[in-house]
Amino acid sequence: MVNKRKIFNDPVHGFINIPYPILYDLIEHPYFQRLRRIQQLGFTNYVYPGANHTRFQHALGAMHLMEQAIAALRSKDQKITEKESEAVLIAILLHDIGHGPFSHALEKSIVPDVSHEILSELFMQELNRQFSGKLDLAIEIFSNRYPKKFLYQLVSSQLDMDRLDYLRRDSFYTGVNEGTIGSDRIIKMLTVANDELLIEEKGIYSIEKFLVSRRLMYWQVYFHKTVISAENLLVKTLLRVKEISANGTEVFSTPGLRFFLYPEVEIKSLLKNPDPDKRKILLDQFASLDDSDITVSAKVWAGNSDKALAMLSNNLVTRKLYHIEVQNEPFTNKLTDLYTEKTIKYLNIDRSMKDYFVFCGEITNSAYQTGDDQIKILLKSGKIVDITEASDMFDQRVLSRTITKHFLCYPKGVIS
Report the site for its own copies in 242-301 (rule: CB under 8 A).
252, 254-256, 288, 290-293, 295-296, 299-300
- 389 interacts with its own copies by CB under 8 A: no
Q: Which of 53, 95, 99, 354 binds its own copies (CB under 8 A)?
A: 53
* Cβ atoms of residues 160 and 152 within 8 Å: no
Q: Which of 18, 23, 56, 100 binds its own copies (CB under 8 A)?
A: 56
Cβ burial, residue 323 (10 Å; 0-12/13-18/19+): middle
Q: Residue 137 CB, nearest distance to its own copies (Å)?
A: 26
Q: How far is the CB of 344 from its own copies (least distance, A)?
A: 23
Which one, 143 or 292, has the nearer CB to its own copies? 292
Site pattern 133..172 for its own copies (x: CB under 8 A): ---------------------------------------x
**Comparison of 14 and 330: residue with beta carbon closer to its own copies:** 14
Residue of 94, 181, 309, 387 that binds its own copies (CB under 8 A):
181
- Identify which of 92, 111, 102, 129 has the alpha carbon closest to the alpha carbon of residue 40: 102
Among the candidate windows 56-64, 113-121, 142-150, 332-340, which touches its own copies by CB under 8 A? 56-64
**Hey, which residues does 360 pair with through a beta bridge?**
408
Q: Is 406 in the site for its own copies (CB under 8 A)?
A: no
Nearer to its own copies, 40 or 156 (CB): 40
- Asked whether 135 and 90 are in contact (CB, 8 A), the reply is yes
Single out the residue of 113, 193, 201 nearest to residue 153, CA to CA.
193
Q: Closest approach of Cβ 140 to its own copies, in Å?
A: 29
* Position among 20, 24, 131, 219 found at the interface with its own copies (CB under 8 A): 219
Beta carbon nearer to its own copies, 278 or 299? 299
Site size toward its own copies (CB under 8 A) is 73
Kindly state whether residue 21 participates in binding its own copies, applying the rule CB under 8 A.
no
Q: How far is CA 47 from CA 302, 314, 326, 390, 411, in A?
A: 22, 18, 16, 37, 18
Q: What part of residues 310-339 is at the interface with its own copies (CB under 8 A)?
A: 317-319
Q: Does 408 bind its own copies (CB under 8 A)?
A: no
